[in-house]
Structure 1
């Protein structure tokens, strides 16, 4: 809304309906519209008020517009008021000329174009307002100069008693006058305070900057205000607030500056204390929030660990009582295995987050077909979706054709449909440069999240597509793209969209959905389990691949959609260049340790180990007996020992066909054992095929095991099929 006062616009016409029409056109200008139905009435209106513009009808009885305009121009007050003639009767040059001759500024013919009239009147209103403002400023300036002269006479007497320091300088910044308070603040005599004394007192650390700032604004004739430190002769440090304004001559020329100085030392100390207090409060609040999140996480961790332990220990005790029938025994074993797998998943997530926090998570880059990755995950969660009666839909889009893979309730048990689905998915070339295991972990986490929060009878859809262009949310993380990820010449992305009809996400929690240790419901009584780490891991892994991930939800109870974008890999040559040479496509190694038990293992080749002698080295009695039993079930002859010393003694007596050794053995560990063996001659054990058992599931631990002399490694908890397959691989070699 404009703060300008309204101006008057005079509308003169002998027809009321014409006046109404003019008011309707000009009402939006927001000015005072004053009517006059005759020339005489118009002249009466001009007696007591001024008008920005007059709209004057030409044809009026008694006194026409031309006569009225002539009388208006005779008065000094209205001599220069703009007049716009309005007429519907004549467009002759003679008539127009007559209008201009009596002082009109414009001539409009009826019917009048509203926008033209409004535009012209608006221009005269603006001119009138600006003219008034100029007059007002001129009057105010004259008043100020008059007051300034009066104040100058009073200045010296008043400044002596002033509670603030007052000073005058010439145009070069040399002090020509200081009052007693100024001298007290600077601890100077009157003589010392004159000239450039004030600049010499500025603290050395700030002197150059303060002087530069003051002269910069002074040269422009502007006001200055600044806070800085000074040092007195007694080496006392003080904070001062200095303000100065230019003094103007009658000709508006800068003739010097007048300023004030205040001692604000105590104020600065109080402000610093206040800032310190605020920082301490902020730090305390952040610490309290961190502690609360930590406590919630630890409570959740305790809940998530104890819940499966309850099932494991409970069913184990029931099994020991030997009172269960065959059906109950099967249920007990299935429950124990499922809950143990859940605990292994929790541990893997915690280790991944630990590596993320320490910056130790690394990628094994290769050429990966995302269609293969997604298909493998779809296959692994198929049964879970079937059990919850959730409709699982997989859609693969292509620029050349669209392959839609839908698994509905009536098709879930159709192996032909599943085979066709997988072939369609694998046929589409959705290649990226990435770590296949980590990319599968991303998709599995999103799918697991969708299935967990979707109620029975709901729907989960996975869509694979190609997208052009870069969105705002990609640009937001562009600085975090690792140098190992190539930037595509054309901004084409592969997009994975996982949407569900589940619980949805509240608008309050949506910005924090990818934060680690954060859950929408932090209590241990929440409906869904988990540590709240899966989505945090997803975001980190996606961004490590140069991509981006976002979450969307209309609200609680309305489902959620997670969208991952990864840069498209155009050709194999890109991979070769990136990896430093030839490298085969890695599309089959799609089983990261944290979800390997969930992938269908029907493709594994297991052979009978009859006649094979295996030496097992494991200090933990339960694990040692478990590994021994697994190997014996497949026909192997097993010798099990608990230490490196016992293992070496056994090898001296009889060479085993395969060695299976734990890494974390007390006193001498598995690395020590393999080093000693590899230093032996082949005929006495130097080339025994060896498998490492390790509870340290980090990539560097697995690489260290292979580098030290083991040919295979199996992570704990040991999966029987994984162990037997590793033994089989060594035999085949």
Structure 2
């Protein structure tokens, strides 16, 4: 639909304006009138006109002056002006009118038909011109929209490519695989073939990946020779030196001669490059490699968009390589940490073995001497002091091993329903000699009604022993109070209160840390007991806390653990075997430590057992082939092999039970013992009481079996 055109009529007389409007009625256009030159200029500021009918003689600005001002305005400088005048001074007026850009000069009276025809021609020209302008604008807008859409689609495609590239590049944590993925991304998206290289350790350049749109050509790419550290003039070094992209959109003989040594030029010519771009790979503040993209199609070039995309790809590759480097370093650190942990565990195990082994003959000789009826009373106390200190030494070794287990999270609980009061009683009895030696008043109030827990009895008793031992150690006079009570949440709390040296407020938060001691050197110890106790209590789902009002005010330690309604299972029909009901055993003792073998032999023979000594696996096997034994008592660390073969030999002949003796007491050592077929694992120094229980058990089995 054609839009109406605006026609401006300017005359100071109303009757003439009306006459001209009437003459133009048949054109069906928008006619605008003005009574003066000033008003006409104001109308021109508001809208554009197809043609202007301008009276020459007007007060103020006349028609010529008004026309001159109209022509000074850029938007109306080409608007057609028709002068209308009643004066027949054609010589001056017409000449002046045309000099001002008038398209016609009409004398009144105006003939309506002629006026309409002239105005209609200018209106038609104006409308067609406006239509052409609109079409041109619409076409320009269409082209702009198409260009914007194409740019948006290209940008979207680039972003999608880079997103896919990032996913591919981070898919591997190996340098070579990352470089290979990079080459595959470049071809054929950015070039017909691609070379990826990096700086080697000597400062030269080495090829790490290639890709070609024709896979058969890749072998040719791999034959390209790269420069050594002394060939710095080689073109491949350029991006490493400048750190900037190197682009050549026209490869000719001169370019090949400038960049490639003579002996390598024939191979480059065979690849038919037409243009190339080398982009550096920046990582950790230096150029570590480059991507060389090569076109082989005539006229193909690397434009700014392609180079931007290549630069972004190089940036993402550098990030992926950083991840590879971080993973490599983290993996190396983890392996070093694991190796250090294994070395530490091995050291601790060997240390405990070497420390424990000499203690066994000491303890066994002490037990044997103490059992002699005619030993002077004067020596009994020194023997007891020696025994206690040897047992303390063994306890310190156990604490070190327990600390290792705590650090590696390898403490294993053998849970069963146990009586807390019974475990407390055992711990008190162990410490009773020290309590009596100091003359302390011991008060025990076991008031808890619910005192059964699902726990590892040995470990929980270890906690009680540590707490009571500490209370005795730091209390020189006064009293010791051990009590239990029911907790509101259904658990049981065990409180050990002493009147000893107390602890400063600033130290109370640290006493559960390894190697922390309130008074250095007092009563021995390494400061590990409470640290290990806290871990054991927490593994049982409980808590341990310490309170003291300060130095000289005593200390209270409270252990709280959850209880269970179930009671310990009574082992029906099981009676404690008495020595009189057992027979003496034939024991094969396999021990390479001479002192330990001698002391154990003396102790066992004092109890009436028949002991045969063997100091290595070979001699033990010979004995097992010719003699019958009721029990194999064997060390684990033997000079010529594993005790497992001996265990199998004696078990096959007699169904014999085995007891392992070892300075190694870690969980894996116990598991290895069971794998050999041994029923029991005793850690050196041998607990003589526990050994006697096992011998008694073995004797009862012998009576039953015979």
- TM-score band (shorter)? 0.3 to 0.5
Which protein has the larger Cα radius of gyration, Structure 1 or Structure 2? 2
TM-score (norm 2): 0.45
TM-score (norm 1): 0.43
